[in-house]
Amino acid sequence: MKTVVLKFGGTSVGSIKRIKKVANIIVSYKKKKLGVIVVSSAISGATNDLIKKTKELSNNFDPAEYDVLLSSGEQVACALIAGRLKHLGYKSRSWMSWQLPIITDGPHCASRINRINKNRILKFVNSGGIPIITGFQGINLNNRITTLGRGGTDASAIMLAKFFNANACDIYTDVDGVYTTDPRNHSKAKKIQKISYDEMLEMASLGAKVMQPTSVQDAKLNNISFSVKSSFVKRKGTLITGNKKAFSNQIITGITSTKNDAKVTIIGVKDKPGVAASIFKPLSLNQINVDMVVQNISLNSKETDLTFTIRSEDLKKTEKTIKQNKNISFRKISYDNNVSKVSIIGVGMITTPGITYRMFQALALKKINIMVISTSEIKISVLISNKNVKKAIVALHKEFKLD
């Protein structure tokens, strides 16, 4: 029997009406004589509400108890879906991650799935049942509940597809696929029919909210093709795959932007070997992720100015860490949290010269100043002022013929 894994996000199960619709989608697969394994997120807003409660109780809420608390949201959604399916006359039940179990490793709040015990689920599916499994979570070797990070139900679905050798994996969300850019930023954004793992990974990492980046990485490592579809409208979605056949010859596949960047500049740092490491090591130890980096050498070659970007929520912690760092000396620190990163992504740029020039020229014609630049083989990112993001996206979308 062919098997399909279906994942439903928080907005898909955000109300009783939507849960009824999700149940109908599940039934449509079952009617095709498929073995169906369902994984669900918590009801939209439930996880945020639980996080808010932890912050009201403690500035340093215990990570293990944090995972226990947050994992409860999926339990509610799964029970409601299973209950609806039983009402419709289908054999179904909810499964907590620890009941399979789904084994994870890594720290609380950011674990990765290592192994899934298939026996109970296979027996249930082969008997005609529809298992509804809690996403976003598992248990570690200490028998404690762990979570996979925000958006982790995507990773649950990908790994279930891997361990159950599923014939298909469909990710249902509130959008009907992956678009060339966020339709809220540009009305001429269009849906991408097929996209490579690498392009999707870059888009997810650079601001596209459709997929959790680690889940795309898991799909690539395990060669799991999957589709992103809408649970609200019946349309063909976007296929994310490693299969190179049938990809379009589009040079640029998509354009993304971020909303939570901050720029930090350390002015007048002594220019000597190891200074960058002295700055970035304490940041790393404080779990502060540094992204774009640029270094300017002064004319006398004795000092340097170092600019880098971080998440805006890490700004206060970054300032404190730098000022407490006794291994460096500098004249001044400046900050700017009114910045955003705009990126163009596409495997076609590897073999196409002139992409960098075209991007910079398109922005220059709109009088958009570039503060920081970073590149890889398949993406170019620039840091610009928040106020210019939509204008930049419209210009780049037109320049690379994505309208």
* pTM of the full structure: 0.86
pLDDT digits (tens, 9 = 90+) for 206-263: 877 788 888 999 999 999 999 999 999 998 999 999 876 545 577 899 999 998 899 9
What are the sequence ranges of the domains in the chain?
3-174
E strand spans, 271-345: 293-297, 303-311, 332-345
Distances 382 to 27, 257, 328, 398 between C-alpha atoms, Å: 46, 10, 28, 17
Helices (H), 286-352: 315-323
Helix (H, G, I), strand (E, B) or coil at 256: strand
E strand spans, 164-271: 168-173, 194-196, 226-230, 238-241, 254-257, 261-270
CB atoms within 10 A of CB 260: 13
The mean pLDDT value of the chain amounts to 92
Task: Work out the average pLDDT over 189-199.
Answer: 92
- Long-range CB pairs of 366-373, under 8 A, 24+ apart, other chains included: 366/391, 366/392, 366/395, 368/392, 368/395, 371/263, 371/307, 371/339, 372/263, 372/292, 372/293, 372/294, 372/307, 372/309, 373/292, 373/294
pLDDT at 403 over 60: yes
What pLDDT is attached to residue 90? 98
CATH C-level class of 3-174? alpha beta
pLDDT digits (tens, 9 = 90+) for 49-83: 999 999 999 989 999 999 999 999 999 999 999 99
pLDDT digits (tens, 9 = 90+) for 3-18: 999 999 999 999 999 9
Among residues 120, 162, 156, the alpha carbon closest in space to that of 138 is found at 156
